[in-house]
Amino acid sequence: MSASALGRIFLIMLCVVALLLVAAWAFQRRLIYLPDRTPPPPAHTVLENARDVRLLTTDGLELGGWYVPAIGGSGITVLVANGNAGNRLDRAALAEGLSAAGFAVLLFDYRGYGGNPGSPSEDGLALDVRAAHRYLVEERQVPSSRLLYFGESLGAGVVAELATDHPPAGLLLRSPFADLAGVGREHYPFLPVGLLLKDRFQVVDHIARVSVPTTVVYGTADTIVPASHSERVAAAAGGPVERVVLPRVGHNDAEMFGPRIVDAVEALAVRAIADR
């Protein structure tokens, strides 16, 4: 094969790689955020006594949420930040379990999820969770000493960042990753993920600045967020930390939404109140 033919092949290969990198950069948020854009049904049709709420972000978006009162009364409220897929309807069973255990719960959807306007991004989700926080502390008058944050997967990054500005009584991170670039390298080892990423979610950096009691829950069979990532988050926590390790449990297994998670929240609440 002549040198000119080899040169043409090399040039074609270079163009293909360049196009792949451009596509990965341009469409990366479609790989990170997997919203169910369908508006959920009215809250009371899914959860008894639940009510629909509207949350206003500082950049002018109105987001949908469900406020679920406690059955009984611990006097503690749990702010739930979802993972990257679905919408709040998928967390109804979790909210029901927490409510039955005596916790009030706020479920909400990020921008672009659950019929909400806008498109998700790291900066956008930070504004969204602050709108949820304002609703609880201003409209429902929940003091920080009676407020827990619950972050699921990507949502762990959302609430860890929120906690650096507005510390709660306690923080539960379910299947957290250390940073989004690290997870990206696990799944796309052939791409220069660190160079391409627009959204970073540096959970380890945020949690190191948070001194409240923290619980990290993860499954040893998680193939989406490796257990080593969650362990790094636990090791970096700036406050007292407890690990809840679920053997042979994967990222989206039923156990991750069931009684064992409610038990972990209850245990965190006891620690958080004692710490006060």
Q: How far apart are alpha carbons 21 and 153 in whole angstroms?
A: 26
CB atoms within 10 A of CB 239: 17
Rounded mean pLDDT of 118-126?
Answer: 96
Least confident of 77-91, 124-138, 173-187, 203-217: 173-187
Q: Where are the domains of the chain?
A: 33-275
pLDDT in tens, 48-61: 999 999 999 999 99
Range 33-275 has CATH code 3.40.50.1820: yes
CB-based burial label for 10 (10 Å; 0-12, 13-18, 19+): exposed
The predicted pLDDT at position 275 comes to 63
CB-based burial label for 121 (10 Å; 0-12, 13-18, 19+): middle
- Quick one: angle between helices 92-100 and 259-275, nearest 10? 50
Q: How far apart are alpha carbons 271 and 276 in whole angstroms?
A: 9
Distances (CA, A) of 58 to 13, 63, 76, 112, 114: 46, 11, 26, 16, 19
Phi and psi (nearest 5°) for 240? -65, 135
pLDDT band with cut points at 50, 70 and 90 for residue 73:
confident
Q: How far apart are alpha carbons 237 and 24 in whole angstroms?
A: 32
Rounded mean pLDDT of 41-47?
Answer: 98
pLDDT in tens, 137-179: 999 999 999 999 999 999 999 999 999 999 999 999 999 999 9
Q: How far apart are alpha carbons 123 and 261 in whole angstroms?
A: 28
DSSP 43-108: GGGTSTT-EEEEEE-TTS-EEEEEEE--SS---EEEEEE--SEE-GGGGHHHHHHHHHTTEEEEEE
The predicted pLDDT at position 20 comes to 46
Amino acid of residue 81: A
DSSP tag of 42: P
pLDDT in tens, 193-238: 666 678 889 999 999 999 999 999 999 999 999 999 999 999 999 9
| Residue whose C-alpha is closest to residue 94's, from 268, 263, 257, 252 | 257
